[in-house]
């Protein structure tokens, strides 16, 4: 078990009707002026917007609003949000939506409270000194952004997608009502399932550290997500299944499933280049393509670990004489499940036309033009990333 620090202070309000308490919750903290930040309007269609506005009004909370956060949220909107926060003396950013609205809200919160351009944080050129507090109402089980310290933003001018971690913008509170995910489409539900699995699986399939509690918790999250994922796709209004996915999503990316083990997210890093270049690619769908390719490339560096994954998560039989068979069976089970829930597992199925030049460019960007390698079983440089991307074709 490697040394670790664990800190997850977000207060979670989970369950039916909890979003109706948002005004009262904000008031209990003493905030007065909120930036209500959301996506492209689905919360208006579902009636959630009206319920949130009513709750804010009932509690006497003043607010300004900014919609328009889209999947792969962009820096332009973040800058606009920062301007509003400063002009209107906002003291809390309330993000209502999925990971995109929340990540965008986090970037606004940290940008508004510091004096430099927020992109510098994402490029690791500067460290923030503070942030406005962030609250969230979650409408999609996927990114775990509602309790995580991370945010991912796309610089639309540079076509660069970059993540950035900070305790400053970790949500102060998050409201999780599984009923708010009933209307999520099957495709987006499946993208979320993949994302939840990946946040845990990438922590699980690492080299160093032996951590029994962490391993078993990771397996708990993975098995629950697989079971509930199937049920939620069969019946979108299955409360128990939606609740399981929602809570699994939050736990999956708050650190808990990787404590005491080393931690690198190679598939996530590579996927960011795909959806950074092809904006139409949903993050979860991109991951469903990259992860099996990465596993096929990487399993041979840690066959025992891949066997544990196959047996404990996917109930594969252990082939004691030929463990490699079990490792491969686990990879196949993952790929089969992704297909079962309607996810693509190749670039072709993503409906994007990826050329050799594109792959070269993705690998260049992923290594910051040769400035870095990705750590893992091996050091992933440009050549290794190209090999993995080619396995995605």
Tokens of 88: 């209107």
Q: Give whichever of 8 and 333 is closer to a copy of itself, judged by the CB atom.
A: 8
Rounded to whole angstroms, how far apart are CA atoms 313 and 141? 20
Q: Which residues contact 16 (CB under 8 A, 6 or more apart)?
A: 177, 178, 179, 239
Closest CA to 77 of 48, 111, 43: 111
**Residues touching a copy of itself, count (CB under 8 A):** 41
Q: Give whichever of 299 and 309 is closer to a copy of itself, judged by the CB atom.
A: 309
According to the binding rule CB under 8 A, does residue 80 interact with a copy of itself?
Answer: no
Selected binder of a copy of itself within 129, 210, 262, 349 (CB under 8 A): 210
Q: Give whichever of 16 and 348 is closer to a copy of itself, judged by the CB atom.
A: 16
According to the binding rule CB under 8 A, does residue 318 interact with a copy of itself?
Answer: no
According to the binding rule CB under 8 A, does residue 143 interact with a copy of itself?
Answer: no
According to the binding rule CB under 8 A, does residue 182 interact with a copy of itself?
Answer: no
> Residues 218 to 247: which contact a copy of itself by CB under 8 A?
219-221, 223-224, 227-228, 239-240, 243-244, 247
x/- mask, a copy of itself, residues 258-297, rule CB under 8 A, reads -xx-------------------------------------
> Residues 95 to 124: which contact a copy of itself by CB under 8 A?
none
Residue 295: left if φ>0, alpha if ψ -120 to 50, beta else—which one? alpha
CB 55 → a copy of itself: shortest distance, Å?
Answer: 16
| Contact call for residues 292 and 242 (beta carbons, < 8 A) | no
| Contact call for residues 245 and 154 (beta carbons, < 8 A) | no
Work out whether the CA dihedral 46, 184, 160, 278 comes out positive or negative.
negative
For the chain, the C-alpha Rg in angstroms (whole number) is 20
Rounded to whole angstroms, how far apart are CA atoms 236 and 245? 12
CB 259 → a copy of itself: shortest distance, Å?
Answer: 7
Geometric angle at alpha carbon 124, from 121 and 125, rounded to 5° = 85
Q: Give whichever of 73 and 229 is closer to a copy of itself, judged by the CB atom.
A: 229
Residues engaged in binding a copy of itself (CB under 8 A): 1-9, 11-18, 178, 210-214, 216-217, 219-221, 223-224, 227-228, 239-240, 243-244, 247-248, 251, 259-260
């Amino acid at each position: 078990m490697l040394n670790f620090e664990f800190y997850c202070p977000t207060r979670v309000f989970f369950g039916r009707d909890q979003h109706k308490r948002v005004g009262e919750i904000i008031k209990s903290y003493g905030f007065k002026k909120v930036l209500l930040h959301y996506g492209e309007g689905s919360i208006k269609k579902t009636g959630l917007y009206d319920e949130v506005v009513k709750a804010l009004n009932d509690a006497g909370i003043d607010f300004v609003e900014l919609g328009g956060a889209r999947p792969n949220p962009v820096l332009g909107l973040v800058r606009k949000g920062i301007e509003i926060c400063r002009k209107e003396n906002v003291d809390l950013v309330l993000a209502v939506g999925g990971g995109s609205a929340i990540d965008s809200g986090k970037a606004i919160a940290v940008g508004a409270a510091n004096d430099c351009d927020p992109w510098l944080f994402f490029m690791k050129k500067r460290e923030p000194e503070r942030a406005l507090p962030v609250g969230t109402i979650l409408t999609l089980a996927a990114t775990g952004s509602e309790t995580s310290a991370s945010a991912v933003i796309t610089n639309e001018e540079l076509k660069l997608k970059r993540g950035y971690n900070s305790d400053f913008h970790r949500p102060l509170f998050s409201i999780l009502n599984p009923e708010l995910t009933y209307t999520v489409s099957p495709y987006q539900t499946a993208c979320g399932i993949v994302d939840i699995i990946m946040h845990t699986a990438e922590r699980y399939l690492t080299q160093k550290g032996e951590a029994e509690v962490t391993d078993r918790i990771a397996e708990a999250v993975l098995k629950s997500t697989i079971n509930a994922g199937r049920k939620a796709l069969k019946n979108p209004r299955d409360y128990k299944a939606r609740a399981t996915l929602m809570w699994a999503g939050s736990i999956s990316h708050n650190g808990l499933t990787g404590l005491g083990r080393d931690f690198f997210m190679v598939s996530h890093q590579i996927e960011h280049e795909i959806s950074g270049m092809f904006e139409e690619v949903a993050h979860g769908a991109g991951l469903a393509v990259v992860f099996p390719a990465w596993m096929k490339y990487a399993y041979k560096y840690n066959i025992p670990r891949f066997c544990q994954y196959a047996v404990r998560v996917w109930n594969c039989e252990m082939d004691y004489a030929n463990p490699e068979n079990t490792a491969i069976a686990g990879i196949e089970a993952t790929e089969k499940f992704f297909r079962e829930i309607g996810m693509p597992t190749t670039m072709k199925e993503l409906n994007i036309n990826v050329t050799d030049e594109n792959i070269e460019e993705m690998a260049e960007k992923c290594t910051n033009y040769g400035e870095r390698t990705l750590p893992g079983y091996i050091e992933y440089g440009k050549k290794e990333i190209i090999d993995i991307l080619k396995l995605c074709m």
